[in-house]
């Protein structure tokens, strides 16, 4: 899935324009309880932002990134769009040319609204617009298959987290899934390539932000950009960066009781995600 924001370049959408041109099953996933919007799910999705085509003086370009700071306002919702610096702006005509693959109707290009599409944005952009949107510092392994039972675990490489990983693994297996972390595999010369492969293939990513580990922060950003369901965990809420504090996280204590509670929380959260 991905967020499609057309004409919302000032960071606000009216309530009746949210989820226009959004499939019913996707709408149900994002607002399952009497229309209550699950903001953390919107924030986890990659986002395509562009102006209405053919109107005004705004540059006719689209940007790929993600949304954060989504909040209720008097008339709808405000948000902050954060562009992905690794992806160059895309001329709007190229997005229009790929409209079918992106599930965008011609009418939508001339309508200010926020839609959510049941399409893997990065796969489409790689296939349809690969000359413009490939990241500059790495390549996504687009030929590798998606694994609906795989959970990728991103956490510091430290013996102090060995027991935490075992607790996460127990919680994941309790939900009928399996897990891997980057040091479980050695398929490529560069560890980042193994990390990218793991995130690309995974259904869910668990990111332990404890100790403000910069590698885990980077990997979490990649997971969010790819639209993977991402579960944040941390031993202290102070370890969570400001831009991610609007997303719910599981706090745990690194002792036997705390890790057991973390395991149960992971099982519960995964069951909710896979049932959607």
> Is there a domain that residue 181 lies in?
yes
> Is there a domain that residue 265 lies in?
yes
Domain count for the chain: 2
In a shared domain, residues 170 and 257: yes
Distance, in Å, from the CA atom of 197 to the CA atom of 142, rounded to the nearest integer, reads 9
| Start-to-end Cα distance in the chain | 13
What residues have CB less than 8 Å from 3, skipping those under 6 apart?
42, 45, 46, 47, 48, 67, 114, 115, 116
- Predicted local distance difference test score (pLDDT) of residue 75: 86
Domain boundary among 133, 159, 178: 133
**Residue 34: Cβ within 10 Å count:** 5
Distance, in Å, from the CA atom of 213 to the CA atom of 234, rounded to the nearest integer, reads 11
In a shared domain, residues 154 and 269: yes
Please report which helix (H) or strand (E) contains residue 69, including its range: strand 61-72
In a shared domain, residues 76 and 102: yes
In a shared domain, residues 73 and 180: no
In a shared domain, residues 100 and 176: no
Distance, in Å, from the CA atom of 225 to the CA atom of 257, rounded to the nearest integer, reads 34
> Is there a domain that residue 22 lies in?
yes
> CATH number, domain at 255?
3.40.50.450
Where in the sequence is the domain holding 178, given as residue range(s)?
Answer: 150-275
In a shared domain, residues 48 and 113: yes
- Predicted local distance difference test score (pLDDT) of residue 135: 64
Distance, in Å, from the CA atom of 59 to the CA atom of 189, rounded to the nearest integer, reads 41
- Predicted local distance difference test score (pLDDT) of residue 102: 94
Q: Which two tokens stand for residue 61?
A: 């370009």
Give the residue among 73, 228, 262, 84 at the shortest CA–CA distance from 150. 228
> Is there a domain that residue 242 lies in?
yes
The answer to whether residues 46 and 121 touch, using CB atoms and an 8 Å cutoff, is: yes
> Is there a domain that residue 115 lies in?
yes
Distance, in Å, from the CA atom of 169 to the CA atom of 263, rounded to the nearest integer, reads 8
> Is there a domain that residue 127 lies in?
yes
In a shared domain, residues 6 and 125: yes
> Is there a domain that residue 60 lies in?
yes
Please report which helix (H) or strand (E) contains residue 94, including its range: helix 92-97
In a shared domain, residues 221 and 119: no
In a shared domain, residues 157 and 44: no
The answer to whether residues 156 and 211 touch, using CB atoms and an 8 Å cutoff, is: yes
In a shared domain, residues 87 and 163: no
Domain boundary among 133, 165, 188: 133
Q: What are phi and psi of 80, to 5 degrees?
A: -120, 130
Distance, in Å, from the CA atom of 78 to the CA atom of 71, rounded to the nearest integer, reads 5
In a shared domain, residues 44 and 110: yes
What are the average pLDDT values for consecutive 10-residue runs of the chain, which has 276 residues? 93 93 90 82 91 77 91 89 85 89 92 94 77 63 82 92 96 96 68 88 94 93 87 95 88 96 96 83
> Is there a domain that residue 140 lies in?
no
- Predicted local distance difference test score (pLDDT) of residue 127: 74
């Amino acid at each position: 899935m991905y967020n499609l924001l057309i004409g919302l370049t000032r960071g606000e959408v009216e309530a009746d324009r949210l989820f226009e041109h959004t499939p019913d099953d996707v709408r149900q996933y994002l607002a399952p309880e009497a229309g209550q919007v699950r903001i953390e799910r919107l924030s986890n999705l990659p986002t395509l932002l562009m102006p209405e085509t053919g109107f005004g003086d705004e540059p006719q370009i689209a940007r790929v990134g993600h949304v954060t700071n989504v909040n209720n306002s008097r008339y709808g919702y405000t948000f902050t769009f954060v562009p992905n610096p690794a992806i160059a702006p895309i001329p709007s005509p190229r997005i229009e040319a790929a409209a079918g693959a992106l599930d965008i109707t011609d009418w939508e290009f001339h309508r200010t609204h926020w839609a959510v599409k049941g399409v893997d944005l990065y796969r489409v952009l790689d296939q349809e617009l690969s000359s413009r949107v490939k990241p500059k510092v790495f390549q996504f392994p687009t030929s590798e298959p998606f694994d609906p039972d795989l959970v990728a675990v991103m956490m510091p490489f430290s013996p102090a987290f060995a027991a935490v990983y075992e607790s996460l693994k127990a919680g994941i297996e309790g939900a009928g899934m399996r897990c891997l972390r980057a040091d479980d595999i050695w398929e490529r010369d560069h560890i980042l390539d193994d990390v990218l492969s793991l995130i690309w293939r995974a259904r869910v990513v668990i990111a332990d932000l404890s100790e403000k580990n910069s590698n885990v922060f980077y990997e979490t950003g990649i997971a969010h950009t790819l639209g993977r369901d991402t579960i944040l965990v941390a031993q202290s809420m102070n370890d969570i960066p400001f831009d991610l504090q609007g997303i719910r996280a599981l706090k745990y204590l690194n002792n036997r009781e705390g890790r057991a509670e973390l395991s149960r929380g992971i099982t519960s959260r995964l069951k909710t995600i896979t049932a959607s």
